[in-house]
Amino acid sequence: MSDHNPVALVTGAAHRLGAHTARTLHRRGWNLVVHYRSREDQAEALVYDLNRQRTDSACALQGDLASDNDLGRLAGEAIARWGRLDALVNNASVFYPTPTARATGDDWDTIMNANLRAPFFLLQACLPALKASRGSVVNMIDIYSEKPIADHPLYCASKAGLAALTRSWAKDLAPEVRVNGVSPGAILWPEGEAAMDESAQQAILDKTPLSRTGDPDDIAGTIAFLICDAPFITGQILAVDGGRSLNM
């Protein structure tokens, strides 16, 4: 029956919140297209596990979201896999500090391409299939899109742009396609160049009314709700942040 199940494409789904989202939708009977850029081993391991639970229910597709050719190919292969596409989750993003005095043109291109340009042109490529299925789009925004974090002007601008696209698309693509967003707070701490020390983490928790980090399933569950259980919700961006945005 896999050809009759709804199909979701989740970008950046090999790890962290993308992988949790893929697993959550899969548990609800969806087939998954797991996009990855460089984490092939993690993506294939996730797909193997999903297919072990339900045969022919997941596939992994590689693509560089900064490449127009890859965006078009990714959309085409995702739709062709089961002959339909019912949801697009624009989860993949880039996050690292870019102080204004030191930010470069390469920083601008890297962050804007991943966080803003890619979601636009990927949705464009997927749009005929999403309209045909009267599907849904969920964009991963950020509470910093409205109340910026210091030394991250490019990241904050890219997410603010994606928030604006979310609302614009909700008007432009209705009634065939619903478009919403999710803005996480402190769920998983940043890794790599953007990693925070314990004091910085505690400072965030001190301003979070629930006084703790959230769980990745809080985000995945909200995305699943918007896709599966909210047929009359569009153009909304839900903050899943333990109240953090109240004290920013």
Helix (H, G, I), strand (E, B) or coil at 146: coil
**Beta carbons of 135 and 85 less than 8 angstroms apart:** yes
Distance CA 121, CA 124 (A): 5
* CA–CA gap between residue 111 and residue 44 (Å, rounded): 26
Phi, psi dihedrals of residue 89, rounded to the nearest 5°: -115, 110
Beta strands, E only, 68-162: 87-90, 136-140
Identify whether the C-beta of residue 155 lies closer than 8 Å to the C-beta of residue 100. Answer: no
Distances (CA, A) of 110 to 8, 14, 71, 105, 246: 25, 20, 15, 9, 30
Which residues 6+ apart lie within 8 Å of 207 measured at CB? 244, 247, 248
Is residue 142 within 8 Å of residue 159, measured between CB atoms? yes
Catalytic residue, chosen from 36, 48, 96, 155, is: 155
The tokens for 6 are: 């709804």
Residues 91 and 142: their CA atoms lie apart, in Å, by 11
Quick one: which of 148, 126, 152, 129 has its CA closest to 139?
126
Query: 155 an active-site residue?
Result: yes
**Positions marked active-site:** 155
